[in-house]
Amino acid sequence: MSIRSINPATAEAFAEYPLDDAASLERKLTRAARGFENWRWTSFAERSRLMNRVAELLRERSEEYAELMTDEMGKPIAQARSEVEKCAWTCAYFAEHASRFLQTEEMQSDGSRALIRFDPLGTIFAVMPWNFPFWQVIRFAAPHLMAGNVGLLSHSANAGGCATALHRLFKDAGFPTGVFQSLFIENETAEQVIADPRVKGVSLTGSVKAGRAVAALAGAHLKPCVLELGGSDPFIVLADCDLDAAIEQAVVGRMINNGQSCIAAKRFIVEDSVYDDFVTGFHQALAAQKMGDPNDEDTDLGPMARDDLRQALHDQVQKSIAQGARCVLGGELPETDGFYYPATLLVDCDATMECFAEETFGPVAAVARVADTSAAIELANNTPYGLGASIWTESSTHGLKLAEQIEAGHVSINGIVKSDPRLPFGGIKDSGYGRELSRFGILEFVNKKTVWVK
C-alpha cells in the first residue's frame, strides 16, 4: 500500500510513497529507542551545532522546499519561502537558548539544597498536518530534540514529499541514527505507535476529533500529550480603531495560506458605528486578491489542499446563506482545474450560523455586527474554540483590559495572531492544551526531576 501526493492546482498525482509494513515500523521504533540512549547524553554544544546546521540547510534548500510545499498543498510560493525561513529561525533560536531553558535550578528546602533537573523523556511521537508542512514539524522537533528527546513523525497523507524531505534534512545535518525519523502509516497503525511502551509522549496538531482520540489513547497509557487543535478566531473591530489598518490586516489574517490556518481570523466582529465602512473596505480588499497558480509570484490565493476540504467549505457557505447570511463576494465553485475556492465574504452573520458556530478552514470571512464592546466580547467567547483572538482599538490600555476577558491562548492587540518561537503557543477549550515554542513549550516533554541533598 502507498500514499499519493496530488497537486491541488492541477488535481494530478505526481508522487507515491510506500507505507511502512510491520517490520519497517519495528525497525524505526527500535532505532528511536537506541538512538535516545545515546542522544540523551549528548552535550548541548553538540546538539546546538547540529540544530544550527539544520537552519543552514533550510536556507540553502529554501527554493527546493518551497516548491515542494506548493506542489503538495497549494501554498503560494512566496508564503512557502517565508515558511522555510521561519523554520530556520526557530532552529537557530532553540540552538541558542535551549541550554538556558533547561539549566538545572538551585532551590532551598528545609535548609537543605535542592536541585530541579530537566531530563528528556525519550521517544516523542508527532502527528502533524499538511497546512504548514515544514513549520508544524520544525516547531515540534527543534525544542524537543534540543531537550534530548528523539522524534517520530507521522505526517499527513498528502505531505509525503515533505515528510521525506524532513527526514533527509536531519540526516544530512548529521543527527545520529534514530534521533528523527518519518513514519508512513495509517491511523490504525498510529494507535499502535502511541500504545508502544517505547513511545513516551505524543504531540498532535490536527482536528478536534483527532485530538479527542489521541488524548484518550495517551491517557489510557499514561503518556503526556500536547494538542493543538482547531480554531475559530475572532477579529474584533472597535469603533475607535485605525480602520484602514484593521482592514488591511483582516485580509492577511483571513487569506494567509489560502485561508487554511488554525489561527486565521475567521469571525469578524464589528461595532455598529464602523460596520458599514469596514464591510465596504473589506469587500474591496478581498476582491483584489488574485487567485491562480500558486507558483506564480503574483498569486495571493492558491487552491485548497484537497477537493473534499473544498466541498466541505462550500457546504458551510451554502448552509450559512440558508440560515440568513448574505454572500456579497465569492461563494461559488469555479469551473477550473484544481481545488480552487474564491475569496468569499459573508455579512450579517450571527452565532447561530454555520460560519460562526463551526470552524471554516478556507478563504471565507464571516462578519457580524454588534452594538458595543461588551457584546463583541460576548460573541467572541461564544465558541467551543479558544486558540487566538485579535482586538483592534486605538487604546492599548483598553485593549489590555479586554484581553483579560477573552477566552483564548493568544490575544493580539492591533495585530493578527501568529506564532513566534520566543512566545508560548497553544489554546484552551476545544482548541487543545499544552504549549509549543518558548521555554514553556520545551518543558512539555521533560521530567522536572527534584534532587534533594542533605
Cβ–Cβ < 8 Å for 431, 386 = yes
Report residue 296: phi and psi, to 5°: -80, 130
* HSE toward the beta carbon, residue 330, CA cutoff 13 A: 27
Q: Residue 76: name the closest of 287, 290, 253, 248 by CA.
A: 290
Paired residues of 225 in beta bridges: 202
Angstrom distance (rounded) from CA 155 to CA 149: 19
For the question of residue 444 being annotated catalytic, the response is: no
Assigned C-alpha cell, 441 = 513549550
Rg (CA), the chain: 23
Which residue in the list 225, 262, 349, 355 is annotated as catalytic? 262
Angstrom distance (rounded) from CA 241 to CA 271: 10
Q: Taking the mean position of all CA atoms in its chain, how far away is CA 8?
A: 20
Residue written as grid cell 514553556: 440
Assigned C-alpha cell, 360 = 471554516
Angstrom distance (rounded) from CA 398 to CA 413: 10
Question: For residue 346, what are the contacts with CB-CB under 8 A and spacing of at least 6?
Answer: 317, 320, 321, 325, 326, 327, 328, 331, 353, 355, 364, 365, 366, 367
For the question of residue 228 being annotated catalytic, the response is: yes
Which residue in the list 72, 83, 228, 271 is annotated as catalytic? 228
Residue written as grid cell 524537543: 144
Assigned C-alpha cell, 184 = 508512513
Angstrom distance (rounded) from CA 240 to CA 218: 47
Cβ–Cβ < 8 Å for 32, 150 = yes
- Cα dist. 416→73, 368, 410 in Å? 23, 18, 10
Q: Residue 318: name the closest of 267, 310, 281, 384 by CA.
A: 310
Residues annotated catalytic, as ranges:
228, 262
